A and B are shown apart, each in its own frame.
Chain A
Amino acid sequence: MAIELVIGAIKAVVIVLLVLGLTTLMLWFERKGSALIQDRIGANRAAVFGLGKRLGLPNFGVINTVLADPIKMFTKEDFVPDGADRFLHGLAPFLALFPVIITFAVAPMGDILRIGKYDIDLQPANLDVAALYVLATIGIGVYGIALGGWASNNRWALLGAIRASAQMISYEIAMGLAIIAVVVTYGTLDLQQMCRAQGGVWFGFVPRWGILLQPVSFLLLLISGMAESKRVPFDLPEGESELVAGYFTEYSGGKQAVFMMTDFAEVLLVAVLITTFFFGGWQVPWLYRDGFHFPGGASWMLPNVVVALLQFVAFWVKVIILSCLQILIRWTLPRLRYDQLMRLGWKGLVPIGLLNLVVTAFIVVAAGGK
Chain B
Amino acid sequence: MTPISYYMALSAILFAIGVVGVLVRRNVIVMFLAIELMLNAVNLAFVALGRRIGSMDGQVIVFFVMTVAAAEAAVGLAIIIAMFRNRETVDADELNLLRW
Do A and B share a direct contact in the complex (Cβ within 8 angstroms)?
no
Residues of chain A touching chain B, judged by Cβ–Cβ distance below 8 Å, are: none
Residues of chain B touching chain A, judged by Cβ–Cβ distance below 8 Å, are: none
